[in-house]
Amino acid sequence: MNTYIKSLPVAALLLLASCEKYLEKDPIGILTEEQIATDPTVGTITGAVTNAYVPLASTLNLFGDWNWTQGLVLRNDFITEDIASGDANKKWSPDGDQAWMDDVASFNFTPENGAFNGLWTYDYEGISRTNLAISQLTDEAIIQQTGMEQNLRNRLLGEAYFLRAFYYFNLVANFGDVPLLLKPLTNFNEAYEVARRAPKDEVWTQVNSDLTEAANLLPNSKYTSDSEKWRASKGAAIALHAKTALYRGQWQQVIDRVQELETLGFYQLNSNYFDSFDVSKEFAENEVIFAFDHQQGVLPRRGNGLTALLGWGFLAPSPDFTGSFEANDPRLDYTVNVSDQAVYKLLGGTNTDNKGNDDAPSNKIYIRWADVLLWKAEAYTELESYPQAIALINEVRQRARNTPIIGGGTAPGGTLPNRGASTDKTQVKEWLMHERRVELGMESHRFSDLRRWGAAKAVLTALGKNFQDRNYLYPIPQGEVDKSAGSITQNDDY
């Protein structure tokens, strides 16, 4: 690792990742930063990009050895989205284990809560890795030295831009204004210059810029690489661009981006709802646009560690969530088996084979086609184009009711009937909000949806949570504020 970075007293702030002891570790993977920076080859540069995907994983202990209190055991999306939203409880049986998760659930947390440090750590670690890769890929001397082919260079650079946009999207959506770091740091002056929060609009602008670059550089194919289908694709870049517009209320841009995706012809709803989650069908179905590819039995470890927590009783869908499904909706049984305490979507099969497995192969799905269709439906709703919005909601419902029920056979007649015509915006939006909840349940979208709709306070207060207006943004991790001597400021009312 660069010796300047290792010696800086604000090292955690510089990479905006975690405590110094974690930054002392080499990147998770085969390559070290010394190899990437001092002896670049086609292989080391490719490895640098591959390394930038790692913070998307649910693999256990990437940045700490069972450091629960700092939120570093694995990615915390399931806490900050599913548990915070009331769709899930921390455990099937209440206990005092990991009380900081309960504080997130009840909205009685402080900025010291590990959930927020975990979000910050994973995403800024991803950014530091993408910046390293981008600095190599945009250096003409290095490209000439390595003899890298232009097509490969474009592809890798497109992936890196996508990943940086993805990490910054997550940060700005959760924290608002955040430090904007666009290159590797090499000295104290650069470190202190970036120890400031950039306005959120500036961050969103950078996200859009990176996604435009990514879409232009990535090949015009469903998969960027036939041998590594998990890599970010042109479709993923366009989809995240649409999601960025959604979060900024740019409704026509959402529609335009989704139509651009439709023109590619790469994606459609699977006929069976569960195919997106079935381990045996990964990269052989039509709906998943971007996912982290967990693999079992490889080194460095790449398995899905979240399934280990399920074996310990974590992540129990709440009665309020399971009660939100309409009668006979096949999606409920494919999402959770209450009697067996199994979240099938996360396990990757309609059995408990991976329950308790800390190295499971089930992928972490970040974007899939049903999600995208409902973005478009939301945009149409906001533009008062209700027939188009309702048609998309009904398309998602039709796939759900036509999915064979989990025990075989079909859902009873009358299950999930089409929504009728309506010009009542409140009604159409309620249909949309309901459909997103049951279609995407336990996929770590719900709390962001509630915040984006401005509905979080009403919904969560009704569930008995102590949600306050300040909670529309999460607090900046207090450790980052302290280490920057206050140059990184705290969000209001924390």
Taking only the tens place, the pLDDT of each residue in 291-311 is 999 999 999 999 999 999 999
State the DSSP H helix or E strand holding residue 317, giving kind and residue range, or none if neither: strand 314-317
Q: Count other Cβ atoms within 10 Å, centred on residue 170.
A: 22
- Residue 49's contacts (CB-CB under 8 Å, 6 or more residues apart) are 130, 133, 137, 156, 159, 160, 163
Nearest Cα neighbor of 231 from 291, 321, 302, 161 is 291
The pLDDT assigned to 187 comes to 75
* Helices 425-439 and 369-382, axial angle in degrees (round to 10): 170
Residue 173 is assigned to a structural domain of this protein? yes
Distances (CA, A) of 159 to 185, 352, 377: 21, 34, 28
The pLDDT assigned to 34 comes to 57
| Identity of the residue numbered 45 | I
CATH code assigned at 71: 1.25.40.390
The pLDDT assigned to 36 comes to 58
Residue 268 is assigned to a structural domain of this protein? no
Residue 261 is assigned to a structural domain of this protein? no
The pLDDT assigned to 3 comes to 26
The pLDDT assigned to 35 comes to 52
Domain span including residue 93 = 1-217+453-483
Residue 66 is assigned to a structural domain of this protein? yes
The pLDDT assigned to 478 comes to 96
The pLDDT assigned to 215 comes to 98
The pLDDT assigned to 24 comes to 37
State the DSSP H helix or E strand holding residue 124, giving kind and residue range, or none if neither: helix 114-137
- Give the single-character DSSP code of 289: E
- Residue ranges of the chain with per-residue pLDDT less than 70: 1-37
Using the CB atoms, write b or e for 315-339: b if 16+ within 10 Å: bbbbeebbeebeebbbbbbbbbbee
Residue 466 is assigned to a structural domain of this protein? yes
Residue 241 is assigned to a structural domain of this protein? no
The partner residues of 365 in beta bridges, in order of sequence, read: 291
Decide if 355 contacts 361 (C-beta within 8 A). Answer: no
Please, which contacts does 447-451 make with residues 24 or more away whose CB atoms are closer than 8 Å? 447/80, 447/81, 447/82, 447/84, 447/85, 448/81, 448/173, 448/174, 449/85, 450/85
Domains in the chain: how many in total?
1
Residue 313 is assigned to a structural domain of this protein? no
